[in-house]
Every structure is written in structure tokens, then in C-alpha cells.
Amino acid sequence: MAINARKPYPSQPVDGIDRYHGNQLVYLSWDRHLMFAAPFITCVPPGLRFGEFVDTVLAPLIAADPDAAVIDWTKAQWLKANQPFAPDFAKSLADNGIGHKDQLRLQTPGLNTLCGSMAG
């Protein structure tokens, strides 16, 4: 959206990566799990291995969901920017191409907490 300002308007975003002391924001949602109404926002270092991100950040965030304990991470499906994405668990977020303010979506076929038989 264009801005019509009467005087110079600062266009520097206030949530740039430089504001997070070496960390970056990564959004994450778990499809078909309505217990979580909105994506999680995490603040993590770009050098964090994806496997560590899952084990130390994501798993504790979703632990309250009954399906969390039975996720088979080898069968989990991921989307990045709404496109299929196959992360390498041994590589860092940065090496997986996950940048500041990117959103990841987790899909776990067969696990549909709170959606029941309505899930497609």
C-alpha cells in the first residue's frame, strides 16, 4: 500500500533481523490441530540445527496436544511458503533456507487432533 505523507516517513521496519541479537523469527503452524489457533512465533539462531529446532523448540510448544507424543518425525510433511519442503535435520535453519520471518507448516497425516472425522 502506498503512503502519502506530509513529511519524510521512516520506512525502516522495526522488526528487522538486526533487532534480535543474532536470532531470527520463525513462524510455525501445525495443520489440522486446532488446539493452536495461530502460528507459533519462535526467536532462534539461524545456526540452530533443524533437528534441534524440532527437539528443543517445537516439541515442547506442541506437547499439550494429545497427538504430539506419537508424531513420527520421519513421516512428517513440511511446507515453507506454502510449498513442499524437505528439511535436512542435520543442517542449520540457515542451511535449510529458513530465514527471518519465514513460516513453516507441519503436517502429520493420520494425526488430526480436534478435527476428528471432519478432517480431509
Q: Model's pTM, two decimal places?
A: 0.83
59-98 pLDDT, tens digit per residue, is 999 999 989 999 999 999 999 999 999 999 999 999 999 9
In the chain, the amino acid numbered 117 is: S
Give the whole-angstrom CA distance, residue 115 versus residue 33. 7
Q: Sorting pLDDT into bands at 50, 70 and 90, what band is 120?
A: very low
User: Domains, the chain, ranges and CATH?
Assistant: 19-114 (3.10.20.560)
10-52 pLDDT, tens digit per residue, is 777 788 888 899 999 999 999 988 788 889 999 999 999 999 9
- Please, which residues have CB within 8 angstroms of residue 24's CB and are 6 or more apart in sequence? 17, 43, 44, 45, 46, 93, 99, 100, 101
Counting Cβ atoms within 10 Å, is residue 10 exposed (0-12), middle (13-18) or buried (19+)? exposed
Running DSSP on this structure, what letter comes out for residue 49? Answer: B
pLDDT of residue 33: 87
pLDDT of residue 43: 97
Q: What angle do CA 21, 26, 29 make, to 5 degrees?
A: 155
- 77-80/83-85 β-pairing: antiparallel
Q: Sorting pLDDT into bands at 50, 70 and 90, what band is 114?
A: low
What does pLDDT average to over the chain?
89
Q: Would you say the C-alpha torsion 53, 58, 60, 63 has a positive or negative sign?
A: negative
